[in-house]
Chain A
Amino acid sequence: MPAVIEARGLSKRYGTLTAVDGIDFSIQAGECFGFLGPNGAGKTSTVRMIHCFMPVSGGELRVFGMDVREKPREIKTRIGVCQQEDNLDPDFSVLRNLLVFARYFGIPAGEAATRARELLEFMGIWERRNDTIRQLSGGLKRRLVIARALINKPDLLILDEPTTGLDPQSRHLVWDRVRALRRQGKTVLLTTHYMDEAQTLCDRLVIMDHGRILVEGRPADLVRTRVGKEVVEVWGYPPALLEQARQSGWSFETDTDRLFIYTDEGEAVFSSIAGKHVTERCTVRTAGLEDLFLKLTGRELRE
């Protein structure tokens, strides 16, 4: 089966700034694929080229086997996009937002009404159908944006930072709905900078920084091969410990007050340092995507 999205040497430049710098990736039907990266990594630019909003500066990009430069309308007919900012129509009710959006796809009014009801029920906001957008909380708005992105029964759903700014309950609801869509066989493309989100939702992901793809693979595999099984985290580390880490050839990193040792034998490392060097606190925990992410993109602040 051909890939849903196929990018070869894809790049995006704004004047002298290169936002996406010749990346390759392919997304298969039915998978949830994640784009991770700090702000300005090039995630949103990539997404905007995929849904044919921004012109491609270089390389090749095919969606459903079609060139984005040649068949934008055909491609957009089969995509649903949930953008970062809430761009719902504040002059319309919840239900009307979906009906007006359905019209852009040329969906007949009767069919649109049926689908709108199904989707509002699916996202748990049917009871709020007559509310105005101003009456909705951030979480409800996001659920409505996702419902709107599904009105054309898309083969590919694009979620650009779908849970940024949401409270924990709303985030879990969004995740639950995305997983339900995955079970229905929908292909999902997700951008996020939440590692827990990527870990729970994505089958495969890439980590981007400065417009390039740093790594690509399944979240668990990436963590195991690039970080190790466990992380020993030491608060208030003394210089002697740093010395021991160097001499032992451990893979480690520091920030202002913590030392992170990446290892497959957490217990062994722990017992070798616990009595000697640890003055404050020391824990051994399972390595996660966050460790990989920070290892690859660094700890310094962006923007």
Chain B
Amino acid sequence: MSVIVRNLSLRSLRVWQRNRDVFLVTWKTNLVPPILEPILYLVAFGLGIGALVREVPYRGGMIGYTAFIAPGLLATQVMFQSFFENTFNTFVRMYYQRTFDAIVTTPLSLEDVMAGELLWGATKGTIACCVMMVAISFFGLLHYPHALVIVPFSFLAGLFFAGIALCFTAIVPQIDSFNFPVFLLVMPMFLFSGTFFPLDVLPGWARLLAEVLPLTHVTRIMRDASLGSFHPDLLWDLLYLLIVTIPVVYLGIRLMKKRLLP
């Protein structure tokens, strides 16, 4: 533990800057998913399922279906963006472009490089979340100023998914292997973390499983923020996320070090 912490420095921001610069070169294509995805979902679900299910129960009251799924979409967007950045994109930089090999010949340590990658993964989730919030705001589905809490919070959520992603990047034999974590972890979270339906409708054992999924807690915090009322139980959600993020981030850096330094 101490070696990794000792080798971390602010130079990791140089890696963050490098990734940001690449992002800015291709910014137009980067903004397509966070702008179009919520619009497509809100139209399809709002007009389609929303016509059948006009309102859903939430925290003892009833809310409109589109208002229910909008924050869920924000949460999943952060998950997808951060997870994909530090799996597929990090793998390309590590394996195909050998970017890290070049960077570690400079004063940066391997730990700096990995920390920069994680910070960027979290940032990418935050950027996508912010862009998506603007799009959703046009539907009048975010309650301000409460919804602004989502911005800094999406960074923490992004960091968690970035950390998980880095753990997988450190152990997959090839890029196709990401299919396993995508379909065994990310997609189940997408479907069973209360994005599209309230978890209360699930049987007891399934609800318990859903509580283990980190995305459940991200969704809950974002939903309260977007609806404009914070339930005291959110502190537990926040605590859970903090507790899982720290070891995941540490493990990600450690495993990557093991992979890159034989």
Which of A's residues lie within 8 Å of B, judged by CB? 14, 51, 53-55, 72-73, 76-77, 79-81, 83, 85-92, 96, 100-101, 103-106, 148-149, 152
Complex contacts, A101 vs chain B, CB 8 Å: 102, 106
Interface residue from A14, A89, A149 paired with B97 (Cβ < 8 Å)? A89
Given contacts A54-B261, A85-B101, A89-B97, contact A105 B106 (CB under 8 A): yes
Which 3 pairs from chain A and chain B are nearest by CB?
A87-B98, A104-B106, A81-B105
In the complex, the answer to whether A92 meets B21 with C-beta atoms within 8 Å is: yes
Given contacts A87-B102, A92-B25, A152-B106, contact A103 B97 (CB under 8 A): no
Given contacts A14-B262, A89-B97, A91-B22, contact A106 B102 (CB under 8 A): no
Q: 21 interchain pairs (CB within 8 A)?
A: A53-B105, A53-B261, A76-B106, A83-B98, A83-B101, A83-B102, A85-B98, A87-B97, A87-B98, A87-B102, A88-B102, A89-B18, A89-B22, A89-B97, A89-B102, A103-B14, A103-B17, A104-B14, A104-B108, A106-B107, A152-B106
Measured CB to CB, the nearest residue on chain B to A152 is B106
Give per-residue flags for B98-116: 1 if the beta carbon is below 8 A from chain A beta carbons, else 0. 1101111111110000000
**Could you tell me the distance between the alpha carbons of A80 and B26 in the complex, rounded to whole angstroms?**
30
Given contacts A55-B261, A83-B101, contact A91 B25 (CB under 8 A): yes
The minimal Cβ–Cβ distance linking B103 to chain A, given in whole angstroms, is 6
Give per-residue flags for B1-39: 1 if the beta carbon is below 8 A from chain A beta carbons, else 0. 000000000010010011001100110000000000000
Chain B residues 85-144 with CB under 8 Å of chain A are 97-99, 101-109
In the complex, the answer to whether A105 meets B107 with C-beta atoms within 8 Å is: yes
Measured CB to CB, the nearest residue on chain B to A53 is B104
Complex contacts, A80 vs chain B, CB 8 Å: 105
In the complex, the answer to whether B105 meets A83 with C-beta atoms within 8 Å is: yes
Measured CB to CB, the nearest residue on chain B to A133 is B97
Which of B's residues lie within 8 Å of A, judged by CB? 11, 14, 17-18, 21-22, 25-26, 97-99, 101-109, 261-262
Complex contacts, B106 vs chain A, CB 8 Å: 76, 101, 104-105, 152
In the complex, the answer to whether A90 meets B97 with C-beta atoms within 8 Å is: yes
Complex contacts, B18 vs chain A, CB 8 Å: 89, 100, 103
Measured CB to CB, the nearest residue on chain B to A79 is B105
The minimal Cβ–Cβ distance linking A58 to chain B, given in whole angstroms, is 16
In the complex, the answer to whether A92 meets B105 with C-beta atoms within 8 Å is: no
**Could you tell me the distance between the alpha carbons of A149 and B105 in the complex, rounded to whole angstroms?**
9
Complex contacts, B17 vs chain A, CB 8 Å: 100, 103
**Could you tell me the distance between the alpha carbons of A148 and B105 in the complex, rounded to whole angstroms?**
11
**Could you tell me the distance between the alpha carbons of A81 and B103 in the complex, rounded to whole angstroms?**
10
Q: Which of A80, A83, A89, A90 has the most CB of B within 10 A?
A: A89
The minimal Cβ–Cβ distance linking A25 to chain B, given in whole angstroms, is 21
**Could you tell me the distance between the alpha carbons of A105 and B25 in the complex, rounded to whole angstroms?**
22
Measured CB to CB, the nearest residue on chain A to B18 is A100
Complex contacts, A87 vs chain B, CB 8 Å: 97-99, 101-102
In the complex, the answer to whether B97 meets A104 with C-beta atoms within 8 Å is: no
